[in-house]
Structure 1
Amino acid sequence: MIRLRDILAMDIFRNFKIIAGKNGSDREVKTVSVMDAPDIYKWMKGGEFLITSGYVVKDQPEYLAFLIENLDKHGACALGIKLDRFIYEYPQDAIEKANKLNFPIIAIPFEFAFADVINPVLQEVINHQSRILQYSERVHQACTKMVLEDEDISTILSFLEEHIHQEAAFVDTCFDKTYYTKDTAQGGIEETGRYRIHINEEEYGYLVFGSKWNDYDESFRDYYQIAIEQAGTILILKLQKKLTARQIEADYREQFVQDMLTRNISSKEEIINRAMIYNWDFYLGGVVFIVDIDHFKKQYLKHLDENVNRRMMEMMTRVLLISKQRVGQEYAHYVYSKLSDQIVFIITEKYKDEETFRGNLKKLAKEIKDEIARVIPFTATIGIGNYRKDISQIHDSWEEARKAIEIIRSMEREDTVVFYDELGIFKLLSLVSHSAEAKEFEKQYIEKICTYDRKHHTDMMDTFIALVTNGWNLKVTSEKLFIHYNSMKYRYRKLGMILELDLQDQEERLNLELALKLYQMHEK
């Protein structure tokens, strides 16, 4: 850029004097203009070297302080005033204002016509812009050639160093790698400057410059900036290429995992051979571990708004990062795939004690669940299938983990960790729970209690559930319900009357327990 001090250093302007605001001499000059109205500041666009004979303010020299303040506010570069024409002495308040704002006031000798100032300044600005454009074109052509020839990052950095006469390195924060030229690969460089690389407003890395950065002659900064920006553009293109390749590989990995889960792969040998491409080891089999966000899909469908949906997708990404980080800390061998609002992990682990392994899985699941609840306004239910030694049977573990979540949700429970093989009788009942016979069986027993409660405003259903939960033990149940033992005995007899059953009959008790479990699965 052309600065005011560069203009004043021209031989033709050797008699121009800065009488105030000397510290503003590094302001950029973009053009030169003549002041022909007191409110000229309203038309300033920035970088104007404004010159005047002083005629428009000759009758109100006190206006100069106000003018200087507004010229500075609107981005003007400086104010040049001809001496001994209409103004013979600069008002002190204007001098003080200019010094305070570092806004230069230039004393223009009487003999200078406006054209004597305008033409040389504009010529210098145009020449500078022309040199910049020519340099920019040469750099652009060189960079285009590097792109077409797919030069590596080290070559790009060598090109940059040649044009800015300074050591440079590139820190790739996306792929966690630092690049140097061949000359600096061993020792690195001492950082004194940075240029950040952004893609869609997100930083993916930065260029680092060495110890001479702060010693640059400012007259060359425009040229250096062009070279840096062009090199940065090439780096962005290379990063985007790598990101695209990584995304394609991630998509293939996820599709492979989904093929395993859905039995789209025919044999164990095919799974193991395909896994070797990604350095995955499935010789020990695996277990499926599903993280399912409670009510996430329902909330997503409720708000068909772009901003809301974007925030929910961001939350899903956070859940994925939390889950991956915690699973990765605990187990070295795992793969994952996103399926709707579920994140499915296949964990491979060599273990001797199954109980300890299950305990570790449960502990891990609880930590993930608690962390999710801490960072987003959703809870998670985690379902875990059985370990399969044969990886070709991993589909069964996936079905078990899914079924565990489905069953526990049917019982109106969530924000929990559930192993499929801990569901007991609920696994069997889930196979028939939606049949007409099962619903009729449930109604035969449960409906009588619910009807009685509605009619008499009682809570016999709660008593019944507590009684079954505590193994039909009246004493333990009375303690759990905080009622007197005699009251418990009365309620027990009342339940028998409501149901018209002998509650001492073991077969009737079994029927009641099954009906209650079906009720818990169906209750909404």
Structure 2
Amino acid sequence: MKPVTVKKLQTIKWFNKRLKLVNKNADLDKTIQRVMVLEAPDLWQWVKGGEFVLTTWYAFANKPELQDECFEKLAQRISAIGIKTKRFINKIPQSVIEIADKYNIAVFEISYDTYFGEISDVINVEIQDYATTVLIELNKIFQDFMQTSVTENHAAAILGVLANYVKNPLLLFNQRFELLAKRNAPSVDAKLIEKYIEKIKNGQYTREMYYKGYEQPDMGLFFCYARDTIVGYLLVLPLNYNTSASGEVRQSKFLSHKESLLCQQTAAFLSIKMWEIYDNENRLLLKLWNELKAGDLTHQKILLDKIKEYGFEKKDRYNIILFSKTISLRKLKLYCEKYAHQHLILEEDYWNIVIIPNRLLEIFKKHLQETFTTGRIIITPYFENLSEIAGQYDLALQTAKIIIENNISGVIDAVEWIPKLLCLRYKDAPEAVWIYKNILEPLKNYDLKYHYDLLKTLETIFNSRTLEEVAKKLFVHINTVYYRIKKIEEITGKSLNRYTDRYLLMQAAFMNMTDKKEQAE
């Protein structure tokens, strides 16, 4: 059974007797998906596409100057419109007919004595009959999918079931865009496939599209989507396509409503198989990763071979980036796809680990702060050898420890935090006790006695590039900063202009940060 079209409605005697087609350039093959009665001026805001709109034109009877602009917006979205005459308007405006012809929309004149409810009933019966037939057919095909899914242990077999019902070229990719299988596509060459892959990578998709698909004149894209993760892509091409050097694709007719539903159903079945592949691969990578973290290089060759599949090369430099679990994994995956096509995500208990080539780091870092406004992100220095991973990961964890203890969020560069890490690690050593007694404690006592901010000024100095920047951060005049620096030297005997003194003052500032956190707890 074919979908309900304007042409099919015209074959119904009751419909033809009460609704008269008044324009010449209507596309009678447009599909009718639903009936809507609309009387508001902003008609176009309440339709999704495929509607047969019924109206008395009441909204424009007294304001005809609005009708052309409003109807033009509506005509671009609907399949047909029926306008009742002899109630609020005597005849359908010629400008409306011309706009309808421009967009090939069928315009019907509805007789005065015809109820909208009767028209809705007649059209809805046809729509429901078609929907019931499609459901029966889909249920039969569903059984084929179930049988194949149980008896065959590979995704290509499921794609073969779809190929029995949809004759378009079908291509299946994993999450890294490796071609796993194709059907009905003997002449689709590698060059054309690459063009489609680039188009898919550069597309903008909504969450709804992950379930319903993304259909364009030159392709239908259906996502294998499971547990907030894209594990594969089902690509459907038009029946007629041009594989010339230009790479342009032409089509005559694309997916019907039933075919689109079939592709959605196939993607759902494929998601199960593709998730198994994805999950098994992740388990292997996580096992190898845990070995490397412990400094075990026994299986490094297996890991090197595996990461080559992700586009990683042994000669490249790489960075480890930790993302706290408070950051949405789905959002993180979308960010990685956008700013680092070459990436590896490993899910641990407390952190999600991202590994990217160092050459992509600057681009990757650029939008981190604005994209992830909450949570913690720790960036480590690059490594070249697998033997360095354990040290880099430990540096990241030590950095995580101090920023969590100090309730600090945002994007953290682990290298910049090394002095603070050293301070934390050796805070109970005799050297640290001396710094506390001779530098930190006198400054604390002065601030407490005179309600001053010498320690805050000192901390700000070590987190700023210039003294002018310090003044801006503290909302004070630059001369006040100079005065406080002099006062710090008077109290401690240590000058910021001498290297060893500056180091001791910096350690005191870092110790104060840790001390404040401990007091708060």
Q: TM-score, normalised by structure 2?
A: 0.51
* Alignment pair present for 1:184 and 2:214: no
Matching residue of 1:102: 107
CA offsets 1:300-352 (integer angstroms, 9 cap, x no match) = 5xxxxxxxx65xx55544665688558x6xxxxx99665735636598xxxxx
Q: CA deviation at 1:257?
A: 0.9
* Alignment pair present for 1:239 and 2:271: yes
* Alignment pair present for 1:208 and 2:237: yes
Query: Structure 2: how far apart are the matches of 1:413 and 1:152?
Result: 44
Query: What is the letter of the counterpart of residue 288 of structure 2?
Result: F
The total of aligned residue pairs comes to: 403
Query: What is the letter of the counterpart of residue 343 of structure 1?
Result: I
Q: What percentage of aligned pairs have identical amino acids?
A: 11
Q: CA deviation at 1:523?
A: 1.4
Query: What SS class does the counterpart of residue 241 from structure 1 fall into?
Result: helix
Matching residue of 2:350: 340
Q: Superposition pairs for residues 72-471 of structure 1, below 5 Å?
A: 93-96=89-92, 102-105=107-110, 135-136=137-138, 138-150=140-152, 163=165, 166-170=167-171, 172=173, 174-176=175-177, 180-181=182-183, 184-185=186-187, 194-198=219-223, 199=225, 204-211=233-240, 225-262=257-294, 265=296, 268=297, 270-272=298-300, 274-275=302-303, 278=306, 289-292=319-322, 300=326, 310=328, 313=329, 316-317=332-333, 340-341=350-351, 343=353, 345=355, 368-373=364-369, 375-377=371-373, 381-384=378-381, 391=387, 394-403=389-398, 417=413, 419=415, 430-434=424-428, 438-439=432-433, 442-452=436-446, 454-455=448-449
CA offsets 1:226-246 (integer angstroms, 9 cap, x no match) = 355335412431233213321
Say if 1:146 and 1:193 are closer, same or farther in 2 by CA, change over 3 A. farther
Say if 1:17 and 1:151 are closer, same or farther in 2 by CA, change over 3 A. farther
CA contact (8 A) 1:381 1:417 kept: yes
Q: CA deviation at 1:260?
A: 2.4
CA contact (8 A) 1:257 1:335 kept: no
CA contact (8 A) 2:319 2:356 kept: yes
Query: Structure 2: how far apart are the matches of 1:437 and 1:128?
Result: 83
CA contact (8 A) 1:154 1:182 kept: no
Say if 1:256 and 1:285 are closer, same or farther in 2 by CA, change over 3 A. farther
CA offsets 1:192-217 (integer angstroms, 9 cap, x no match) = 6644425489894442221399767x
Query: What SS class does the counterpart of residue 433 from structure 1 fall into?
Result: coil
Matching residue of 1:522: 511
- Unaligned runs of 5+ residues in structure 2 are 35-49, 62-73, 98-105, 114-121, 197-215, 242-249, 463-476, 514-521
* C-alpha RMSD over aligned residues: 6.8
Say if 1:234 and 1:121 are closer, same or farther in 2 by CA, change over 3 A. closer
Query: Structure 2: how far apart are the matches of 1:430 and 1:15?
Result: 85
CA offsets 1:150-194 (integer angstroms, 9 cap, x no match) = 397777667656656x54333648442565436634568999664
Query: What SS class does the counterpart of residue 291 from structure 1 fall into?
Result: strand
Q: TM-score, normalised by structure 1?
A: 0.50
CA contact (8 A) 2:435 2:504 kept: yes
Query: Structure 1: how far apart are the matches of 2:82 and 2:268?
Result: 39
Query: Structure 2: how far apart are the matches of 1:467 and 1:125?
Result: 72
Query: Structure 2: how far apart are the matches of 1:325 and 1:418?
Result: 24
Matching residue of 1:111: none
Q: CA deviation at 1:446?
A: 3.5
CA contact (8 A) 2:321 2:353 kept: yes
Query: Structure 1: how far apart are the matches of 2:16 and 2:415?
Result: 90
Query: Structure 1: how far apart are the matches of 2:16 and 2:379?
Result: 82
Q: CA deviation at 1:442?
A: 1.6
CA contact (8 A) 1:174 1:205 kept: no
Query: What SS class does the counterpart of residue 373 from structure 2 fall into?
Result: coil
CA contact (8 A) 1:381 1:405 kept: yes
CA contact (8 A) 1:442 1:516 kept: no
Q: Which has the larger radius of gyration?
A: 1
Say if 1:226 and 1:171 are closer, same or farther in 2 by CA, change over 3 A. same
Query: Structure 2: how far apart are the matches of 1:4 and 1:428?
Result: 76
Query: Structure 2: how far apart are the matches of 1:455 and 1:134?
Result: 84
Query: Structure 2: how far apart are the matches of 1:446 and 1:395?
Result: 35
Say if 1:184 and 1:519 are closer, same or farther in 2 by CA, change over 3 A. same
CA offsets 1:418-477 (integer angstroms, 9 cap, x no match) = 549x968x8776543135884465224432344345546778779999999xxxxxxxxx
Q: CA deviation at 1:414?
A: 8.9
Query: Structure 1: how far apart are the matches of 2:261 and 2:272?
Result: 16
CA contact (8 A) 2:172 2:235 kept: yes
Query: What SS class does the counterpart of residue 103 from structure 1 fall into?
Result: strand
Moved more, 277-286 or 99-108: 277-286
Say if 1:262 and 1:102 are closer, same or farther in 2 by CA, change over 3 A. same
Query: What SS class does the counterpart of residue 176 from structure 1 fall into?
Result: coil
Query: Structure 2: how far apart are the matches of 1:364 and 1:65?
Result: 58
Q: CA deviation at 1:522?
A: 1.1
- Unaligned runs of 5+ residues in structure 1 are 32-45, 51-62, 81-88, 109-119, 301-308, 329-333, 348-360, 469-480
Q: CA deviation at 1:261?
A: 1.2
Matching residue of 2:203: none
Q: CA deviation at 1:519?
A: 1.5
Query: Structure 1: how far apart are the matches of 2:219 and 2:236?
Result: 5
Query: Structure 2: how far apart are the matches of 1:173 and 1:394?
Result: 28
Query: What SS class does the counterpart of residue 257 from structure 1 fall into?
Result: helix
Say if 1:171 and 1:397 are closer, same or farther in 2 by CA, change over 3 A. closer
Say if 1:177 and 1:434 are closer, same or farther in 2 by CA, change over 3 A. same
Say if 1:107 and 1:233 are closer, same or farther in 2 by CA, change over 3 A. same
